[in-house]
Amino acid sequence: MNTTSAAQVMPHSTRERTPWQDLPAAVRAAVEAETGRVHAVDTISAGLNSGIAAVLHTAGTSVFIKGLPTDHRRIATQHNEATLAPHVTGIGPALRWQIEADGWNLLGFEHLTGHPADLGPSSKDLAALAGTLIQLGQVRAPDVSLARIERRWAGHADECELALLAGDRLLHTDLNPHNILITLDGARIVDWAWPTLGAAFIDPACAALWLIAEGHTPAAAEAWAATIPAWQDAPTAGIDIFTVVNARLWEQIAHDDPQPWKQRLHRAALSWHEHRHRIHGG
């Protein structure tokens, strides 16, 4: 099996990354105090949330690092991941350390190997993803301040509709194939930059939307989701509203930034909403 690191399977970005050697000397020294001397570096160009992303190789091991300047507008995503990591052990990569030095905040994660999930029809990866989502559905949300789905998606539905999506379950919400790494131990979910509280069925629904975008019919995607208890317990009206909200959300995203993959997600969301409307009138 061809293997890549968790970092290497995140969506591609056009933003420039800061190379390891361009970090301040004090930052590199703080990292090497945790890892030992770094003798090789694989800079990762993929991903959207980090100013630096790289795999550092030392004499004894490898570690994936990601980080941002401490005054960056998205610095909260670093703290989100550090806070959530202990609660998603075995689901996401283990956090080894977090350091702050000379204007940078860096996280060091275990270096996972595997391949990005194939979410297409008949893929063997679908069972592994379902198993991990079942495991995630059993995780108690930590007692920390997290965004709520009804606030994140406000503006795409009214309060009564959004109430059907509210809940107290820990959600990832960005289950694109590049954030799902298929390892020898099963599916691992990476990039927990935007943890959210909401109804338990939302993560299976987010994954089902990507299945549709990858070639499944809405009915087939729902049949896959039906293997997950959180989906089995979901109210029909809640799933209907999820498709309404996501059709509106992806329409706006694709309009504002019409990259092909965003247009594809919009078409998938619209197809699913139309499917639900035909069946339920939702």
Residue ranges per domain, the chain?
Answer: 4-113, 117-280
Give me the DSSP letters along the chain.
---EESGGGSPB--SPPPPGGGS-HHHHHHHHHHH--EEEEEE--B-SS-SEEEEEEESS-EEEEEEEETT-TTHHHHHHHHHHGGGGBTTBPPEEEEEEETTEEEEEEE--EEEE---STT-THHHHHHHHHHHHTTPPPPSS--EEHHHHTTTSS-HHHHHTT--SEEE-----GGGEEEETTEEEE---SS-EEE-TTHHHHHHHHHHHHTT--HHHHHHHHTTSHHHHTS-HHHHHHHHHHHHHHHHHHHHHS--HHHHHHHHHHHHHHHHHHHHH--
Equal CATH topology for 4-113 and 117-280: no
Give me the DSSP letters along 231-278.
HHTS-HHHHHHHHHHHHHHHHHHHHHS--HHHHHHHHHHHHHHHHHHH
pLDDT, residue 178, reads: 86
Structural tokens at position 34: 């945790």
pLDDT, residue 46, reads: 60
One digit per residue, the tens of pLDDT, for the chain of length 282 reads 333 333 333 343 435 678 999 999 999 999 999 999 999 999 876 655 678 989 999 998 999 999 999 999 888 888 888 988 999 989 999 999 999 999 999 999 999 988 999 999 999 999 999 999 999 999 988 888 889 999 999 989 999 999 999 999 999 999 999 899 999 999 999 988 888 999 999 999 999 999 999 999 999 999 999 999 999 999 999 999 999 999 999 999 999 999 999 999 999 999 999 999 998 764
pLDDT, residue 49, reads: 64
| 4-113 belongs to CATH 3.30.200.20 | yes
pTM over 0.85: yes
Q: How far apart are the first and last CA of the chain?
A: 43
pLDDT, residue 194, reads: 83
Provide CATH code, domain 117-280: 3.90.1200.10
